[in-house]
Amino acid sequence: MPSHGLKADLELLTLVITAGIAAYLFTDQVVSNALFTGLISILFFLTGLQINSKLMRKTVLKKNQILLGLATVFIFTPALAIVFGNIFPGFKEVILAIGFSAAAVGSTKIWSNMTNSDGELAAKIGIISIFASAIFVPILILVSGLDIDLELLFKNALIPLTALFLGVATRGVGNSFVEDLRLHFSKLSFWLIVLITGIQTQILLEAEGFSILYTFGYAALIFTAFSFACFGLGYFTGRLSDLYEKEARALGFASGSKNIAVAFLIALHIDGLAVALVGLYYFVRQISGVVIVDLMVHGEFRTLKRILLKGSSPLSKFRVNT
């Protein structure tokens, strides 16, 4: 087994365990909207560290592609979310919260580059959509009739948005600690998402028992279908608009990978179950992205095969006396 593979596995296991322990230590007495707003603000700050101003200066070079990408993120995907919400009314609010969110920044670029797609285009759409969500999310909430107090949403959004701009400004400081935060963005974000999801899941388990896990299982299936549908919508929109294959794939990843920080912020104004389900969506989104990458690169889903081979490799070291 390669040492770097073992190191990555141990890091992932450590992140999950430590986040799980931290989530368990939080009790009802300390859990509040202020706590979640603070954790979400850290997510926004880490996102801000990923925003490269030099990359955004080239935006005019692909203006039409970016406009099409934003239309996919804030018009076509939300429309698809409304359709899914009507099909699955029990999950309508959380599906809308996810569907109305901006595009992710890091994962869309990584997956695009892994499939030889236009990673810069995917990143630009993700970055611009974060700032554009300040305008489009309230409009979508009003149009859809989603029961959210917009005045309260605006007030609670001030801190996360301030953290976002602070992250953008801090990126250019050149400090080694800041650089470490930027480089380990995915690990830190993953830890925070597990923590937020773990805290809210613990509260739900205490209130409703293990029956809530059936809800999670059903939601995971819906989120999987939604993720693939969003990717397909973005990709085929690009192809029908005569974009290059690389650009169409980038649009697919941008529309199929919604921003978790923005989704958390919206879900916080719905209920606790919505917050936990947004965290669940993140894990479904990551798995769906890996599946899409495998299908594009290899023509088959190889990840499960690699996991099974890796897991069974220690067994090959045992010898049975005959």
Question: What CATH number is given to the structural domain containing 40?
Answer: 1.20.1530.20
* pLDDT of 235: 93
Concatenate the DSSP letters of all residues of 241-307 into one string: TT--HHHHHHHHHHHHSB-HHHHHHHHTTT-HHHHHHHHHHHHHHHHHHHHHHHHHHHSS--HHHHH
pLDDT score, position 301: 66
The reply to whether 173 falls in a domain is yes
Q: Tell whether 125 is covered by a domain.
A: yes
Looking at the whole model, is its pTM more than 0.85? no
Domain span at 167: 32-307
Distance CA 210, CA 50 (A): 38
Output phi, psi for 6, to 5 deg: -65, -40
In a domain, 10, yes or no: no
| Alpha-carbon Rg for the chain in angstroms | 20
The span from the CA of 299 to the CA of 291, in Å, is 10
pLDDT in single tens digits along all 322 residues of the chain: 344 443 444 555 565 565 555 555 555 544 456 677 777 888 888 888 888 766 666 555 578 889 999 999 999 999 999 999 999 999 999 999 999 999 988 888 888 888 888 888 888 899 899 999 999 999 999 999 898 988 888 888 888 888 888 888 887 676 676 677 667 677 788 888 888 888 888 888 888 888 888 999 999 999 999 999 999 999 999 999 988 999 999 999 999 999 999 999 999 889 889 999 999 999 999 999 888 888 887 776 666 555 444 444 444 444 444 4
Q: Count other Cβ atoms within 10 Å, centred on residue 119.
A: 20
Residue 3's pLDDT is 44
Residue 21 lies in a domain: no
Domain count, the chain: 1
Residue 115 domain-assigned?
yes
pLDDT at 207: 83
Can you give the pLDDT at residue 15? 53
Does residue 1 lie within any of the structural domains?
no
Output the pLDDT for position 1: 35
Contacts of 238 (CB under 8 A, 6+ apart): 68, 247, 248, 249, 250, 251, 252
CA 318 and chain centroid, separation: 41
The pLDDT of residue 205: 86
Classify residue 25: in a domain, yes or no: no
Does residue 77 belong to any structural domain of this protein?
yes
Looking at residue 16, what is its pLDDT? 57
Find out whether 293 and 111 touch, Cβ atoms under 8 Å.
Answer: yes
